[in-house]
Structure formats: C-alpha cells, structure tokens
C-alpha cells in the first residue's frame, strides 16, 4: 500500500521560504512510471496544481506558470522523499498543501495535507 507522509512548518513569515517534505512508502521516488506532485487548496484559488518531479532515465520537473519563478521540487533518493520550496511567500500563498502521486495525470494517492499560514 502506497502512502505519503507530509512534514514541515505550518507558519511562514512573508517574504520567506515555504518548505515541505513528502516521504514515500510502498513506492520509489525513482519509479519510471510515477510522478510526484504538489497541489494546494485555498478558498480563493480552489485546488491548484503547483508542479511535479519524475524520473524517466533522468530527472524532470514541470511547474505551474503562476509559481514557476518561485518554486523548486526536488527528489531525495537517499530518503525516498521529495520536497517543495516556495520562495518569497505572501499571504496569498496561505493554503492547505498536498503531495500526491500520479501515473497518468490522475492523482490516486495523496498525503494528509499541511495547512500553511503566511503571516508575520
């Protein structure tokens, strides 16, 4: 059974960096058939896909245009996990953040969610 376990701070100050980690069990971050995503949800923006990392003989990343200048998603093969870094956050980045796995662009496994508040 594949499970995703999220961790990271729930309060981030404006202009700082939001950092979350998603630990994978039951699968490998280096899988040749899966991709590892970050999605967020807020009342104002609904469910919003942020980006993903995946391995197909080499590592690839895709990012949403809305955050492409501020986001980094990295795999960590030694710990079988992947991370999200979102720089220069503002209160508009306040949301519930989810990690999720997809194999064909539908998200069949999700993390538990992390409520992140951007506030001083």
Partner 1 sequence: DIQMTQSPSSLSASVGDRVTITCRASQSISSYLNWYQQKPGKAPKLLIYSASSLQSGVPSRFSGSGSGTDFTLTISSLQPEDFATYYCQQSYSTPPSFGGGTKVEIK
Q: Contact region for partner 1 (CB under 8 A) — 12-20, 70-78, 84-92, 103-111?
A: 103-111
* Dist CA 37 CA 34 (whole Å): 10
* Dist CA 22 CA 36 (whole Å): 9
Residue 48 is a binding residue for partner 1 (CB under 8 A):
yes
Q: Is 51 left (phi over 0), alpha (psi -120 to 50) or beta?
A: left
Q: Contact region for partner 1 (CB under 8 A) — 18-26, 46-54, 75-83, 86-94?
A: 46-54
CB of 81 to partner 1, least distance (A): 17
Residue 65 is a binding residue for partner 1 (CB under 8 A):
yes
Strands 71-76 and 81-86 come out as antiparallel
Residue 7 is a binding residue for partner 1 (CB under 8 A):
no
Nearest to 112 by CA among 88, 89, 91, 96: 96
- Judged by the rule CB under 8 A, the positions of this chain that interact with partner 1 are 46-49, 62, 64-65, 98, 100, 104-108, 110-113
């Amino acid at each position: 059974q594949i499970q995703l376990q999220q961790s990271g701070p729930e309060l981030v100050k404006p202009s700082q960096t939001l950092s979350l980690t998603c630990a994978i069990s039951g699968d490998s971050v280096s899988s040749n058939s899966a991709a590892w995503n970050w999605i967020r949800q807020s009342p104002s923006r609904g469910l919003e896909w942020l980006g993903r990392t995946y391995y197909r003989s080499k590592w690839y990343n895709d990012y949403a245009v809305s955050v492409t200048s501020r986001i980094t998603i990295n795999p960590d093969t030694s710990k079988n996990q992947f991370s999200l870094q979102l720089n220069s956050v503002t209160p508009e980045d306040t949301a519930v953040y989810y990690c999720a796995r997809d194999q064909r662009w539908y998200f069949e496994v999700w993390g538990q969610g992390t409520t992140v508040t951007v506030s001083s």
